[in-house]
Structure formats: C-alpha cells, structure tokens
Amino acid sequence: MSTLTVTSGTDSIDLEVEDSGGSGRPAVLIHGWPMSHESWSEQVPALREAGYRVISYDRRGFGGSAKPAAGYDYDTLTDDLAGLLKALDLSDVTLVGFSMGGGEVARYVGRHGQERLHSVVFAAAVPPYLMKTDDNPQGPLTQDAAAEMESGLTAGREDFFPGFVTGFYSAGEELKATQEQVDQGVELCLQSDQGAALGCMEAFGTTDFRDDLVRVTVPTLVVHGDSDGIVPFEGSGQRTAQIIHGAETVVVQGAPHGLNVTHAEEFNTALLDFLAR
C-alpha cells in the first residue's frame, strides 16, 4: 500500500492505493460501501496470477484514505477516480465497481468519457437508480427503508455494522459467510469516517445514473447474485444490462450481495472469462 496524492477536479486528495505493478492490462477495483480495498482480497490474487495489473484503492473517507469533511457526492468521487487513472497514467483499463462502486463506474463514463477504458464491470452494483420515485417506480430502495438505515447508522456504528454485514452476506435468512468473514467485514466498516459513511449512503441511494449508462459503449459485464437482499438484481443489475447495449449478464445462483466473498470462485470465473475477451 502507498499513499497517492491525486488531482480531483480543482482540488487534491490523498488516497491509499495498492498497485500490483507489471505490464499487464490494468484492472481497477472500486470497493463497496462502507468497506475498503481489502474487501477485494479474494479477487486480487486471482487477477494477479492471470497476469493483470491490479489496482485497488480506498475511496475518500474510507480505509486509509484521507477523510475530509466533504466530497461524498458521485461527481467528486468520480473525479477522485479520474485523478487516480491520470496519476498512474493508466489506459486500456477495466473498471470493476462493486455495489456503490458501480455508481462510480457509471458516472466516470458520463463525466469523463471512455478514452482510458477497455471495458467495465458492474458487480452487485447500485445503478441505474436505487431510490423508488415517481419517475423510477422500479427502484428497490424506498424512502422509509433509506431513513431507517440512516437512523440506524446515526444511532450507533458498533450496533449497526454487525447487522448490516450479516445481511450483506446472507441469502434470505441463510448466512453464506463464515463468522470470521463477517468479523473482518465489520472491522473494515469501522475504519470508515462517520460523515463519509452517511454522505455516501445518501449518494448511492439518491443518485440517478440512467443518463450515464446510456453513454457506455465499451464491453460490459453485469454480475449479480440472485439472492441479493441489499441491492436486488431485478431493480439494479437487470435494468443496467437492459440499458447498456450488448452487456453480458452473469447471475450467480444462491448468492447474496457480498458474492465476491461468499461465492468467490464463481465470481472470479465470470470476471476472468470476461477480461480474457
């Protein structure tokens, strides 16, 4: 790990970055809320072994990155990503966005274009638009559910995160992860800044990515668990694949939201097969 100062819009931000180096085609992994780059621990070795240059980083406010008071909207977060790609002079990149990170993938294309990109992956990702509204009746997140989640986190992180992570790794009532994996997930969540966690919660719940997705023309993979109770496939990944012409969809049977951990073999197979094309 190293700290990289990147130019983000008209400002700068210090991000914790893990870069495997090498001459392979770069894959940039963007983690979900409210964890860190360490949540990709099942993917990084597999991608390295396959010859890819693997870059993962902590979003501002999370893990070891700087934790400023502001900047938790998707425009700023995507400017951070653009600054990272520029600082490392990356091209022919595959962006892999998990959950909240899928929003950064979509907004990156909408805001910065595809010049540096080879392909994109939406993994259990929040686009096209999570919140249920009058003009988005298929949105899987209701106002009441969002308010309950916000009040739970505000009331106490130590009580909120264990329940959240258990749901993250559960298909229905069945926990698909080990207790050690749950404990590790909670530990990553607790590294987040509270203001960042709340700000990003609002961002992923209320940001409309539909106009961003229509601009995606590079090869696209949508991978999702069919038992995702946090970001249900029917209201998110399925709709994203319908918007992006030619998108490939892989639905992992019995997999919860955190399928990159609970179903790592199936997830990695889908990702590596896609990257090899």
Domains assigned to the chain: 2-275 (3.40.50.1820)
92 is catalytic: no
Write out the chain's pLDDT in tens, 277 residues.
799 999 999 999 999 999 999 999 999 999 999 999 999 999 999 999 999 999 999 999 999 999 999 999 999 999 999 999 999 999 999 999 999 999 999 999 999 999 999 999 999 999 999 999 999 999 999 999 999 999 999 999 999 999 999 999 999 999 999 999 999 999 999 999 999 999 999 999 999 999 999 999 999 999 999 999 999 999 999 999 999 999 999 999 999 999 999 999 999 999 999 999 8
257 is catalytic: yes
Q: Which of 99, 170, 192, 227 is catalytic?
A: 99
Q: Is 114 helix (H, G, I), strand (E, B) or coil?
A: coil
Give the torsion through C-alpha atoms of 114, 14, 38, 101, to 10 deg.
-30
According to DSSP, residue 59 is labeled: P
- Residue 93's H or E segment, with its range, is strand 93-98
Instruction: Give the pTM.
Output: 0.98
- Count of residues for the chain? 277
Report the first-to-last Cα separation within the chain, whole angstroms. Answer: 29
Give one word for 113, left, alpha or beta, with left for phi > 0 and alpha for psi -120 to 50. Answer: left
Q: Which of 58, 80, 208, 228 is catalytic?
A: 228
